[in-house]
Amino acid sequence: MDDITLDVRKFVYDTIVETAHPPIAQHVADRFGLPRAEVVRLFHVLQDERQLTLIPGTDRIFMAHPFSALITPYRVRLRRGPEYFINCAFDTLAAHPMLGDASMTISGFCHRTGKQIEILLDGGRIEWLQPATTVVYLGIPARRWWENIIDTCGNQFLFFATEADAEAWEKETDRVGVGRSISVETCLRLVDPVYRDKLKSDYVRPTAEMLNRHLRSLGLVGGFWEY
């Protein structure tokens, strides 16, 4: 990505961190003195680079991962700062390293039972997890996460109150063995290298090779975890 694309990416993320809402194209055009059409082109470049996702058929930002512009069941509340809607269970954990391991409360729901799930994170650690048996469920193999990121975040990356709830849901939806459940602790470690430096001006996503090494270091091995 060239300098202006990186600058626009940084502006989008900084705006969301400050206001909990993404800028519209005209805000970016005014900030950088660019024609609106050029901003829209840059939005699509950033989407191709997996830096953000647009609402289909529009030039409006839907996701600047981990943030969602739309209401979702997943929220992050900073002890000092705003509350954000988050794309999925996976991304709630990702918000922690991205925001400098700031003290935050994650709120969500068990996808099967609707039971409230709350997680308090501070300094890179889980301070509180209720229910203590909560798992993060990843419903498709790593290599497919970006095939349709809206479906992945909306339907595949979920919280369950227990692993038994995840298994029961798989049976009820004829998905036995399709996905994998991991602990909240493992997910927190999993997201770290992808999101830790995301607010830096020169952020670059880790390569597939780097991600595969990281997954193996966490004991996540086998075809499901090959990125």
Q: DSSP labels for 178-221?
A: TSEEEEHHHHHHHHHHHHTTTTSTT--PPPHHHHHHHHHHTT--
Q: Is residue 117 a part of any domain in this protein? A: yes
Q: Is residue 73 a part of any domain in this protein? A: no
CB 109 within 8 A of CB 73: yes
pLDDT in tens, 67-101: 999 999 999 999 988 999 999 999 999 999 999 99
Domains of the chain: total:
2
Are 53 and 114 part of one and the same domain? no
Q: Is residue 72 a part of any domain in this protein? A: no
pLDDT in tens, 113-126: 999 999 999 999 99
DSSP strands (E only) in 131-188: 135-138, 157-160, 180-183
Q: Is residue 96 a part of any domain in this protein? A: no
Are 55 and 108 part of one and the same domain? no
Q: What is the pTM of this model?
A: 0.94
Q: Is residue 92 a part of any domain in this protein? A: no
**pLDDT confidence of residue 117:** 98
Number of Cβ within a 10 Å radius of residue 22: 20
In DSSP terms, which residues pair with 78 in a beta bridge?
104
Q: Check which CATH number belongs to the domain holding 217 and give it.
A: 3.30.450.410
Are 125 and 48 part of one and the same domain? no
pLDDT in tens, 156-205: 999 999 999 999 999 999 999 899 999 999 999 999 999 999 999 999 88
pLDDT in tens, 22-31: 999 999 999 9
Instruction: List the structure tokens of 173.
Output: 């939806």
- Containing structural domain, residue 18: 3-64
Q: Is residue 60 a part of any domain in this protein? A: yes
Question: Which secondary structure element, helix H or strand E, spans residue 91, and what is its range?
Answer: helix 89-98
Q: Of 12, 75, 63, 85, nearest to 42 (Cα)? A: 12
Are 114 and 171 part of one and the same domain? yes
Sort residue 158 into left (φ over 0), alpha (ψ -120 to 50) or beta: beta
The single residue listed with the structure tokens 């991962």 is: 65
What is the per-residue burial (b if ≥16 Cβ within 10 Å, else e) of 27-56?
ebbeeeebeeeebbebbebbbeeebbbbee
Q: Check which CATH number belongs to the domain holding 21 and give it.
A: 1.10.10.10
